[in-house]
């Protein structure tokens, strides 16, 4: 297994898990359920899947790929956990790991990838980078 395949597989799993969370949110009257479902689908799922697809063309740097995978998933786990138990410090630590993973994602080479796809990828990374401090501030305001 390569980091690219693991990122892609965990991204697909994140989309499925987010869908399952969304399916049980209403009947269980879970207040933070829609947020958790959206985070799982968009951040853990779609973003990670796209990162894995791009990293597949940079098979030369497996160490950075594994670090990106670990940072993204541990960071996401801490952000979700910290949000659900209203512990902003966990959100902050998770957010820092996400930033490290984003830097590694940005450094991945995109040889042979069309320029428009690279720009879209970098745009996604920028949206994620901007949303991290916003999420941190919201976490502190809501606690």
Measured CA to CA, the distance from residue 39 to residue 43 in angstroms comes to 5
How many Å apart are CA 102 and CA 107, to the nearest integer? Answer: 9
What is the SS3 assignment for 106? helix
Q: How far apart are CA 36 and CA 111, in angstroms?
A: 34
* Cα 111 from chain centre: 23
Question: Closest Cα to residue 121, out of 67, 49, 41?
Answer: 49
Look up the pTM and report it: 0.94
* Residue 47 DSSP symbol: I
Domain chopping of the chain, boundaries: 3-142
Q: How many CB atoms lie within 10 A of CB 21?
A: 21
Written as tens digits, the pLDDT of the chain (143 aa) is 899 999 999 999 999 999 999 999 878 878 888 999 999 999 999 999 999 999 888 667 789 999 999 999 999 999 999 999 999 999 999 999 999 999 999 998 888 889 999 999 999 999 999 999 999 999 999 98
How many residues are listed for the chain in this entry? Answer: 143
């Amino acid at each position: 297994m390569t980091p690219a395949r693991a990122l892609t597989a965990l991204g697909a799993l994140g989309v499925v898990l987010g869908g399952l969370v969304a399916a049980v949110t209403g009947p269980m009257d879970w207040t933070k359920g829609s947020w958790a479902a959206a985070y799982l689908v968009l951040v853990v799922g779609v973003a990670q899947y796209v990162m894995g697809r791009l990293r597949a063309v940079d098979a030369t740097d497996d160490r950075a790929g594994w670090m990106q995978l670990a940072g993204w998933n541990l960071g996401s786990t801490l952000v979700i956990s910290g949000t659900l138990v209203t512990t902003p410090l966990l959100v902050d630590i998770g957010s820092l790991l996400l930033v490290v993973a984003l830097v590694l994602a940005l450094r991945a080479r995109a040889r042979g990838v069309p320029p428009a796809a690279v720009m879209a990828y970098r745009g996604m990374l920028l949206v994620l980078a901007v949303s991290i401090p916003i999420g941190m501030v919201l976490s502190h305001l809501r606690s």
